[in-house]
Each structure stands twice: as C-alpha cells, then as structure tokens.
Amino acid sequence: MKQAYFITGTDTDVGKTLVTTALLYQAGQRQLQTIGLKPLAAGCEQTPEGLRNADALLLQQYASVALSYDQINPVALEAAVAPHIAAAGRQLSADRLASYCRGALMQKADLVLVEGAGGWRVPLNPRENLSSLAQLLELPVILVVGMKLGCLNHALLTLEAIARDGMQLAGWVACQTDAEMLCLNENIATLQQRIRAPLLGVIPWLEQPDPAIASNYLDLTRLLST
C-alpha cells in the first residue's frame, strides 16, 4: 500500500530536506520504491539544463523511482526569497502545483514524500499559502522542528495552523540546527508533552548533514505501519 506524506517545517533551513532524504534513504535500504517531490523551489541556479535547486536534486538522488527533474521540481524560481516574491509576476497556484504532484503520485511507489518550501504559511499569492497544496493533496503532515531558541513558539503556532486547516499530523522530527542550543532535551520534552503525534526521531547537530547518518536517528516503521 502506497504511503504519502507532506513534509513541512517550523521555518526555512530547519532540516526538511535532510529529513526527507534520510527517510528516502532508509526506505531504499528496505528495498522500497520511493519518490521525493519538491513541487516549488525558490533559490535555484542557472545550469545548461535550466534552473536547478540543490534540495530537489538531493531528492532526485535519494529516491529509487527515476523521475525527470521537471517532475520532481516543476516550479523552479531563481531568487532565494519567498516564492510569491521570487515569482516576479508569475502567478503561482496551489491547484496547479497539486496537478503536477498528482501526476507523479500516480507512479508506482511504496513511499512518496512531498517537501514543502519554507514553513506552513508561506504565501503563494494574495489568497493562498503553500499549506493549500497539502490540503488539496489531502496528505498527512510531517513537521520538522528546527531545534533552536524560539522553537517552542514556532512549533506550537505551526501545529495550531495545521490543526485549523483540518490536516492530520502523522508525526514530527526534532532536528538540531543550533550546535550550541541550551536545554535541548528539555525543549524536546516540552514538545512531546504538547504534540499529540509520534516523535519520529531526534537528529543531532551534524557538521556535515548526511542523509545516511541522519537516517539512523529516524523511525520509518511508524510511518509505514499507519
């Protein structure tokens, strides 16, 4: 049975791609067929093949089902700013992003991970946020919490927004983004008391983020058993 999830974060640069690729890596080690999608990416470089995003390329590398880059990242924006600003007049639409994803979701796979951009409330246009994409796809959500000062407020506000949107939280991951964070364990314990979804893992500070290493700290079984 295919399992599919939408991965969001409490902010940008909190470890969404590390978590996504680590889960893809772990699933691949179990000989599962996997797909990783990054439907919208802001912060792309010009290449002879067109605009390319480093995170989307990692998803392509660690997924076992071969998809073209355009299937993985159909909307690539050059500027590393909020998508609706990076679009520079180009109209972004949750419905169009969802249609791109649905095409890839029809592929045969055991696990599909759709990685968002930034946080849950990143604007797409004057009326929609990227959270609208998760709603249209009706995918359970995995929340990546960047463990740093302020993470409790960011996590709890994001959880409120996810619940208000009527979305199911499948689990959450604590990803240490501050090597010197004080009271790391106490912060994680506080979130465990407040979040009514399983903690899928705690990824410590990694000097060089590596999906294979990070996968050792994640429990994929909890996702596959739902």
**Residues with catalytic roles:** 38
Cα–Cα distance between 9 and 214 in angstroms, integer?
A: 17
SS3 annotation, 149-187: CCHHHHHHHHHHHHHHCCCCEEEEEEEECCCCCCCHHHH
Residues 6 or more apart whose CB falls under 8 angstroms from that of 202 comprise: 173, 174, 175, 176, 188, 217
**What residues does 50 pair with on adjacent strands?**
47
Handedness of CA 107, 110, 115, 119 (dihedral sign): positive
